[in-house]
Amino acid sequence: MRIKEEKYNLNGKEVLLRNARPDEAQMLIDYLKTVTGETRFLMCGPEEVQYTVEQEEDFIKSYNDSEHKLLILAFIDGEYAGNCSFQGRTGNRREAHRAGIGIALFQKYTGQGLGKLMMRKLLEEAAAKGYEQAELTLVDGNTRAYRLYESVGFQECGRIPRANKYEDGTYADDIWMVRKL
């Protein structure tokens, strides 16, 4: 799915939202390795990010060419800051009204309102595509993400206890949140 490139002003900085280009595959791999190392709240550690440039190019193209998923990159004053995405369920017709959401920024761009701006745009696009419900999971303890999701209308609807096990032997729950579109 493609969006029209859009610019916003965020506290005096220019934010650009647009689709990814296939020639940005290496940039996205480097980003994933960095953001997964900056927080324990993402799905894996940096050593588990093993995509090749070709795989990442295919990933970008699959998002751009699909009618069911959207990947949006954010740039602040020309610097890549992170991305957000949604993916509609395609398995069964009964699930086709649901879209799963993801977002991650480099730490240096967090806490400035960018996540909220991106999330609003993403939800707007998902609603425009006809999705009726947005869903996501976050790791218990990710206060900023929880606050962001609450502030754009998500509500907690369940938990998976001990969904994440860390190398130090500790666990963290996954929290499910949902929002009608």
Ligand X SMILES: CC(C)(COP(=O)(O)OP(=O)(O)OC[C@H]1O[C@@H](n2cnc3c(N)ncnc32)[C@H](O)[C@@H]1OP(=O)(O)O)[C@@H](O)C(=O)NCCC(=O)NCCS
Q: Which residue has the tokens 């890549």?
A: 80
- Pick between residue 57 and residue 86 the one whose CB is nearest to ligand X: 86
Q: Which is nearer to ligand X, 52 or 170 (CB)?
A: 170
How many CB atoms within 10 Å of residue 23? Answer: 10
Using rule CB under 6 A, residue 55 touches ligand X: no
Encoding tokens for residue 80? 């890549």
Residue with tokens 């967090």: 110
Nearer to ligand X, 25 or 148 (CB): 148
Q: CB 13 → ligand X: shortest distance, Å?
A: 12
CA-based nearest residue to 20, from 46, 55, 52, 59: 59
Answer yes or no: are the C-beta atoms of 80 and 72 closer than 8 Å.
Answer: no
Q: Is 39 in the site for ligand X (CB under 6 A)?
A: yes
- CB of 154 vs ligand X, minimal distance in Å: 11
Least distance (Å) from ligand X to the CB of residue 104? 4
Positions in 96-155 near ligand X (CB under 6 A): 103-105, 110-116, 138, 142-145, 147-148, 151
Q: How far is the CB of 23 from ligand X (least distance, A)?
A: 24
Residue number of the CB closest to ligand X reads 115
Q: Whose Cβ is closer to ligand X: residue 52's or residue 143's?
A: 143
Could you tell me the smallest distance in angstroms from the CB atom of residue 109 to ligand X?
Answer: 7
Q: Given the rule CB under 6 A, which residues bind ligand X?
A: 39, 41-42, 82, 103-105, 110-116, 138, 142-145, 147-148, 151
